[in-house]
Structure 1
């Protein structure tokens, strides 16, 4: 996903193209492969829109996540956002605790979990691994 594709998805879901949404998407483009907090995005966003509230950024990020443009995670007790991966295969993420860069993990432990829960129906799951990437070690 990138800002150009995201604007098309917004339009497909009936949302208007605004300068503020475009700026927010461009900021996310600049943070490629990194989860970013609402606070960090709001600080960068408010440089161009000084009158914009934190809630404006917050609401837009949650809307973008709800329609599948963004992925979310919780890190250090704070919700973080990034563009949804363009890969079509099922995967999970390694997230560097220093720089925030993500790497895809192309295996899934949910099959083992399902075997240990006979009679249960798993409807959804999320698997993330945290540590230091090679550049930050």
Structure 2
């Protein structure tokens, strides 16, 4: 099953309506293997839905993020989103600062920090590496 169909199936399983706007948002993400800024989603959406508001886009982006269907990061002071990798295991990303493409990183640096954090209860963490991919470098 492709990422588009999988995301639509997850929406249905979680009890959310399959609207044309949500379907289009997921379609946009499925066509990009990278983080995409919310502004770009709005621009793409306005081609088909000229009256769609930024609030509607953000509500849907945060709904999909809350349901772990999208991953979010902040680049240059702006939220960017991508379809969740769906790997089913803990991982991190390298993010190209030019084109936004990502590369999966299996290694987690938290494993080497256990000694430094004795007595601390880590609830969550985020680790991203930024730079230029081979095509942009």
Q: What range is the shorter-chain TM-score in?
A: over 0.9
How far the C-alpha of 1:117 sits from its partner, in A, is: 1.8
* Structure-2 residue corresponding to 1:89: 89
Query: Hey, what's the Cα distance between the residues in 1 that align with 2:116 and 2:132?
Result: 30
* Structure-1 residue corresponding to 2:16: 15
Match of 1:82, SS state, is strand
* CA offsets 1:73-124 (integer angstroms, 9 cap, x no match): 1111111100001213321100000110000111111022221122111111
> Is residue 6 of structure 1 aligned with residue 7 of structure 2?
yes
How far the C-alpha of 1:59 sits from its partner, in A, is: 0.4
Q: TM (normalized to structure 2)?
A: 0.95
> Is residue 50 of structure 1 aligned with residue 50 of structure 2?
yes
Could you list the structure 1 runs, at least 4 aligned residues long, displaced by more than 4 angstroms after superposition: none
* Structure-1 residue corresponding to 2:111: 111
Query: Hey, what's the Cα distance between the residues in 1 that align with 2:88 and 2:57?
Result: 28
How far the C-alpha of 1:63 sits from its partner, in A, is: 0.2
- The alignment of Structure 1 onto Structure 2 pairs a total of residues equal to 136
Query: Hey, what's the Cα distance between the residues in 2 that align with 1:18 and 1:88?
Result: 26
Q: TM (normalized to structure 1)?
A: 0.95
How far the C-alpha of 1:3 sits from its partner, in A, is: 1.7
